[in-house]
Every structure is written in structure tokens, then in C-alpha cells.
Amino acid sequence: MNQDAKQIVSAALREALPGDAVARALEKIRFNEQGRLIVIAAGKAAWEMARAACEKLGERIDAGCVITKYDHAKGELPPLRIFEAGHPVPDENSYSATAHALSLVEGLSEKDSVLFLLSGGGSALFEKPLVPADEMADITKQLLSCGADITEITPCASASAP
């Protein structure tokens, strides 16, 4: 029975891997062939999810970007631009990466598609705050230092999301 339990847990973990989940989901999605395809991935698993999208969609992707935590990118993913930024406290790289992502989706037509891949950490990494950046960082640090959990911090971050 112990071996059976290990096999079940191992299979469940493989099924939950971000890249594998994206690859399976993309098998069911059809994008308009006449429009552009933009891929934007944000979160701690953004690079893995974007890698799977690049493998599955190949040259069909026209542009995009990956916004992930420092030291989570594992190389280039042409044609996507890779950004590493602050997590759990957003930083200037978070804001400039988000600005770049938002610029990619300006002027799209109804024929164009955006594949937006979001994982945990996205609320810190994909940020366009309505308060000054230093104030946003201070608020986040205060919440973290008093033991606030993600459900307490995220509503504050979500209120400032683009």
C-alpha cells in the first residue's frame, strides 16, 4: 500500500506541473489564424508556463513577455522578452515589466488573441500601483512583517492591479 500511495502522489504532482498543465490546456484551444498571438506570463511559474506555450505554439507566437521572480527564469524563450522582478515585494522591475506587457496589448483587433498565463506570485510581479512605488513597497513590507498571509495581502495588491 505504501508503494501505491507513492505512485498516486507522484502522478498527481506530475499532473500539477505548470508547464504540463499549460500544454494540456493548449491542446483544447484554437486561436484565430488571421490575427496576432501575444503571450504574457506572470508569476513564479511564468517561465515554465511560457516555455510550454512556446513549445506547443512555436512560430505562431508573434510577441510576448514573461514576468517572474528573480532567479526563476531558465533562459531565453524567443520571441518572448524575459523579465525578473521583486516578489513578494514589487519593485521597479515589476512596474516596468508590467508596462511592457500592457504595451504589447495596445491596439489589438478582434482577430488578435492574448494568451495570459498567471500563476502564484502574479499579484506582486504584475503591478501597476495607484500609489507611489515606495509607498506600495512599504505597505507590502508592513503586511508581511506583521504576519499577514497571502489572502490578506492580495486584496491590497489586487486593488492596484492594471
CATH number at residue 84: 3.40.50.10180
Q: What does the pLDDT look like over 56-102, one tens digit per residue? A: 999 999 999 999 999 999 999 999 999 999 988 889 999 999 999 99
Q: How does residue 135 score in pLDDT terms, banded at 50, 70 and 90? A: confident
| Residue 2 covered by a domain | no
Cell of 136: 506600495
pLDDT of residue 154: 63
- Angle between helix 150-158 and 133-145 (nearest 10): 170
pLDDT of residue 40: 98
pLDDT of residue 140: 76
pLDDT of residue 153: 66
Compute the distance between CA of residue 37 and CA of residue 111 in angstroms, rounded to an integer.
Answer: 9
| Residue 38 covered by a domain | yes
| Residue 69 covered by a domain | yes
pLDDT of residue 150: 67
**Range(s) of the domain holding residue 98:** 17-158
Specify whether the CB–CB gap between 66 and 41 falls below 8 A: yes
- Predicted model pTM: 0.82
| Residue 11 covered by a domain | no
Nearest one of 106, 60, 109 to 80, comparing CA atoms = 60
Three-state secondary structure readout of 145-158? HCCCCHHHHHHHHH
Helix (H) or strand (E) segment spanning residue 135: helix 133-145
> Residue 151 pLDDT > 80, yes or no?
no
| Residue 8 covered by a domain | no
In the chain, the amino acid numbered 65 is C
Q: What does the pLDDT look like over 116-125, one tens digit per residue? A: 999 988 888 9
Specify whether the CB–CB gap between 92 and 35 falls below 8 A: no
What's the total number of domains in the chain? 1
Helix/strand/coil for 75: coil
Q: What does the pLDDT look like over 18-60, one tens digit per residue? A: 999 999 999 999 999 999 999 999 999 999 999 999 999 999 9
| Residue 119 covered by a domain | yes
